[in-house]
Structure formats: structure tokens, C-alpha cells
């Protein structure tokens, strides 16, 4: 396996985990009754009393739509359950049906959106559909790139209605920020599959690099995608030490306080971003 494939393998696992998560999760096209309807959403209304009252209805910019028999009906700002209850009440109070039997669901989500940016294949704005969580958002953006770090930062918009674009984190520990361990998701810990809100920005940072040179199979730069990566794990990214390499005299070149230092390293030592690992040749 070449070095490129070695770097890609963990993120193929992430993509596979995303697929498994999606297949194990209820269909996202089905919005929960608590979903708040907004302008440009398309509702599907099904009437079991009179077939010609069924159809698809687009919410206009003022939050209303025209429904047969009752005319203009306000749905914007209401939950799906409230829209359904109010529509039944209007049909009953206006004398059309004693006990109207209708259901309301979302056909197309357009009023709420999220932003996925950073190290993903297709960054951009995506409709927030129903009970969407992090896994589906990453899947819609084509999954993460091999250059992605091992975490995702979710920034919650202060005012979703005015969020015209992504909001990047000023501080990664702010009250409006949620950090998610991608490795945990990869390992099937879907408790980390954070629910998303209108206006959220999902930011996937670029992984910091380490460098491996000397007597290894594939010397070069490698993305540091995992916390507490050891020297041994870093060497494995580079294909391992060749026969003439010495694992007892490994050195790490590290910048400390603006100055370059070289330190002797053991295989169990933890590397830091920017480290250069040097594997010398054996004496004999």
C-alpha cells in the first residue's frame, strides 16, 4: 500500500461510518412535528375527507399560502403540529367538516439552512431538513477530505434569520461552539452525532502536519489527524522503518520558543504538530 492510500484509509473508514449511521437513522425527509415552518418551504397536505384538498403548497415570503375553501392561511413561524391543528380548526369552524382528517408534512426544506465549510469535498450551504444531525450534514458535503483534522467545530449562529453565510469560530471554546470528535464517530459512538440548528456552521479544520524523513519507506509530510499520536504511529504513516533504519537513535527536530531543537525520541513518545522525525541509518 503506498503512502497516499495509507493517508486515505482512515477517512474511507469515516465515510463508511457515515453511510452506516445514515442507514441506521430514520429518514431525514420526515420532519418532526416540532419543525418550524418558514418562507419557501413546500408543504404536502393530505386530506382523507376530500381528495382535491390534497396537494403541495409553497409558503410565501409573508409566511402564508392559499388553501382551497379557506383562502389565505398563515403557517410561517408555526410548528408542523400547530399548522396541522390550526388547519383542522379552520376547516371545522368554517363548517366544512365536523372532524377534518388531514396530515401536514414537509416536501421541500428551503427556509432553514446550515453551512459546511473547511476540509470537506463539497463545501457550501445546505437545507436543514427535519431532525438533521452532523453525520448527514457531512455526508451531504461529500464527507471529509484526507487533510481533515480529527474533529469538527459547530458554531451556532447568534441570529439564524440573519445568517447569510458561514460563521467561523472566534474562539473554539465559546458558549456558541460545540466540538465533536470525528474519531469517535468513526468508531460508532453516535452519541457524538450532534443535532443541528438553523444557521449552524459546521467547520472541519485542516489537520496540522508532521514530517518523517530518513530510513523509512515513504518519507514526507503527513496530516496529524489523531490526538496523542506516537512516534511509532507516525512511522507507520510513512510505511514503517526500512531494514537499514535504526529505531534506537530516532531524533525529533522541533521548534521551541522560535528556536530549533533536536531531541532523542522513543517509539512511545507523543509527537507535536510541526515535528520532523528523523530515522538514521544503522551502523551495521
Which pLDDT tens digit goes with each residue over 54-67?
Answer: 999 999 999 999 99
CB distance 143 to 14 below 8 Å: yes
Least confident of 117-126, 187-196, 243-252: 187-196
- pLDDT surpassing 70 at residue 5: no
pLDDT band at 283; cut points 50, 70, 90: confident
How big is the chain by its Cα radius of gyration, in Å? 27
Residue 173 has pLDDT above 70, yes or no: no
Q: What pLDDT is recorded for position 267?
A: 95
With a cut of 80, say whether residue 72 has pLDDT above it.
yes
Whether 238 and 278 have beta carbons less than 8 Å apart is answered as no
Q: How far apart are CA 208 and CA 225, in angstroms?
A: 8
Q: For position 3, what pLDDT does the model report?
A: 45
Q: Which of 35-44, 116-125, 188-197 has the lowest mean pLDDT?
A: 188-197
Gap between the Cα atoms of 23 and 123, Å rounded? 23
Query: Which range among 22-36, 180-194, 213-227, 234-248 shows the weakest confidence by mean pLDDT?
Result: 22-36
Half-sphere exposure of 40 (CA within 13 A, CB side): 7
HSE, CB side, 13 Å, CA atoms: give it for residue 241. Answer: 18
pLDDT band per the 50, 70, 90 thresholds, residue 108: confident
Higher pLDDT, 10 or 120: 120
Domain ranges of the chain: 3-27+111-204, 42-108, 208-279
pLDDT mean over 263-269:
95
Overall CATH class of domain 208-279: alpha beta
Using an 8 Å Cβ cutoff, are 6 and 239 in contact?
yes
CATH class of 42-108: alpha beta
Pairing mode of beta strands 64-67, 71-74 = antiparallel
- Tell me the CATH number for domain 3-27+111-204: 3.10.560.10
Instruction: Report the distance separating Cα 111 and Cα 80, nearest Å.
Output: 14
166 vs 47 pLDDT, higher one: 47
Q: Exposure pattern of 219-252 as b/e (b: 16+ CB <10 Å)?
A: beebbbbeeebbbbebbbbbbebeeebebeebeb
State yes or no: pLDDT of 70 exceeds 90. Answer: yes
| Span 78-106, pLDDT tens digits | 999 999 999 999 999 999 999 999 999 99
Q: What is the DSSP string of the chain?
A: --HHHHHHHHHHHHHHHHHHHHHTS--TTS--TTPBP-TT-EEEEEESS-GGG-EEEE--TTSEEEETTTEEEE-TTSBHHHHHHHHHHHHHHTTS-SS--EEEEEEE--S-EEEEEESBSS-EEEE--TT-BHHHHHHHTT-B-TTB-SEEEEE--S-GGG--S----S-TTSTTEEEEEHHHHHTT-GGG-PBP-TT-EEEEPBPEEEEEEESBSS-EEEEE-STT-BHHHHHHHTT-B-TTB-SSS-EEEEEETTEEEEEE--TTPBP-TT-EEEEPBP--
For the chain, give the mean pLDDT. Answer: 85
Over residues 97-123, mean pLDDT: 92
Whether the pLDDT of residue 153 is over 70: the answer is yes
Q: Do domains 42-108 and 208-279 have the same CATH topology?
A: no
Q: Is the pLDDT of residue 138 over 80?
A: yes
Cβ–Cβ < 8 Å for 157, 200: yes
The pLDDT of residue 176: 84
Quick one: 150 exposed, middle or buried, by C-beta within 10 A (0-12, 13-18, 19+)? Answer: buried
Q: What's this model's pTM, rounded to 2 decimal places?
A: 0.67
**pLDDT (tens digit, 9 = 90+) per residue, 204-225?**
999 999 999 999 999 999 988 8
Q: Residue 171 has what pLDDT?
A: 65
Beta-ladder partners of 55 = 45
**Residue 125 C-alpha from the chain's centroid:** 12
- pLDDT of residue 107 exceeding 60, the answer is yes
Give me the mean pLDDT over the 191-202 stretch: 90
Length of the chain: 284
Asked whether the beta carbons of 98 and 115 are under 8 A apart, the reply is: no
Amino acid at each position: 500500500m503506498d503512502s497516499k492510500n495509507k493517508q486515505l484509509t482512515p477517512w474511507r473508514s469515516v465515510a463508511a461510518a457515515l453511510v452506516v449511521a445514515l442507514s441506521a437513522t430514520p429518514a431525514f425527509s420526515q420532519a418532526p412535528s416540532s419543525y418550524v415552518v418558514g418562507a419557501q418551504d413546500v408543504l404536502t397536505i393530505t386530506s382523507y375527507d376530500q381528495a382535491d384538498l390534497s396537494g403541495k403548497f409553497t409558503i410565501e415570503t409573508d409566511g402564508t399560502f392559499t388553501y382551497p375553501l379557506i383562502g389565505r392561511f398563515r403557517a410561517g413561524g408555526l410548528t408542523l403540529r400547530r399548522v396541522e391543528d390550526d388547519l383542522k380548526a379552520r376547516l371545522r369552524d368554517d363548517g366544512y367538516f365536523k372532524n377534518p382528517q388531514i396530515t401536514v408534512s414537509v416536501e421541500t426544506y428551503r427556509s432553514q439552512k446550515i453551512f459546511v465549510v473547511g476540509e470537506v469535498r463539497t463545501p457550501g450551504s445546505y437545507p436543514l431538513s427535519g431532525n438533521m444531525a452532523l453525520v448527514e450534514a457531512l455526508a451531504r458535503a461529500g464527507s471529509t477530505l484526507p487533510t481533515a483534522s480529527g474533529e469538527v467545530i459547530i458554531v451556532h449562529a447568534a441570529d439564524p434569520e440573519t445568517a447569510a453565510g458561514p460563521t467561523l469560530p472566534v474562539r473554539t471554546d465559546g458558549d456558541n461552539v460545540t466540538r465533536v470528535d470525528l474519531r469517535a464517530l468513526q468508531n460508532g459512538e453516535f452519541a457524538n452525532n450532534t443535532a443541528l440548528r438553523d444557521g449552524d456552521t459546521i467547520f472541519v479544520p485542516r489537520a496540522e502536519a508532521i514530517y518523517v524523513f530518513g530510513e523509512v519507506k515513504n518519507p514526507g509530510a503527513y496530516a496529524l489527524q489523531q490526538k496523542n499520536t506516537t512516534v511509532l504511529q507516525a512511522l507507520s504513516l510513512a510505511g514503517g522503518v526500512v531494514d537499514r533504519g535504526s529505531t534506537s537513535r530516532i531524533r525529533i527536530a522541533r521548534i521551541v520558543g522560535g528556536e530549533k531543537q533536536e531531541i532523542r525520541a522513543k517509539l512511545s513518545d507523543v509527537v507535536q504538530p510541526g515535528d520532523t522525525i528523523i530515522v538514521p541509518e544503522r551502523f551495521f
